[in-house]
Amino acid sequence: MGNQELITQSDYIIALGTLLSCDNEEINEAVVTAIAKNNAEFVYMHPIDDIDLKVYYSQFIKYEVGSEEGIATLLVDAFVKSSNDTIQNFIDDLDIGYISAESSAGEEEFEEAYEKSLDKTNKTLIIGDDIFTHECATSILKLLAILKQYAGFTLVILNEKYQNAFDDISCDSIEEVEELKSYNGTLLYRYDKPNSDNSLVGSNSFARVAKVSDGDAILVNFGSEKVEKLFKVDKNLQGTIALCAMGENDNSAIFDGYRYKQVKIEKVDA
Give residue limits of the domains in the chain. Answer: 3-162, 187-267
pLDDT at residue 203, rounded to an integer: 94
pLDDT at 84: 93
pLDDT at 211: 93
Establish whether domains 3-162 and 187-267 are of one fold: no
Distances from the Cα of 85 to the Cα of 69, 103, 140, angstroms = 21, 26, 20
CATH architecture of 3-162: 3-Layer(aba) Sandwich (3.40)
Half-sphere exposure of 38 (CA within 13 A, CB side): 23
Q: How far apart are the first and last CA of the chain?
A: 54
pLDDT of residue 193: 76
Instruction: Say what the pLDDT of residue 121 is.
Output: 95
Say what the pLDDT of residue 254 is. Answer: 77
pLDDT given at position 269:
76
- 54: which residues sit within 8 A by CB, 6+ positions away? none
pTM to 2 decimal places: 0.94
In whole angstroms, what is the distance from residue 185 CA to residue 141 CA?
28
Measured in degrees and rounded to the nearest 5, phi and psi for residue 113 equal -60, -40
- Beta bridge pairs of residue 43: 14, 59
- Could you tell me if 239 and 203 are in contact, meaning their C-beta atoms sit under 8 angstroms apart? yes
pLDDT at 246: 81
pLDDT score, position 170: 84
Contact 239, 246 (CB under 8 A): no
- Collapsed DSSP state (helix, strand, coil) of residue 43: strand
Q: What is the pLDDT of residue 198?
A: 83
The parts of the chain modelled with pLDDT lower than 50 are: none
- CATH class of the 187-267 domain in this structure: mainly beta
Q: Which H or E run contains 22?
A: helix 20-23
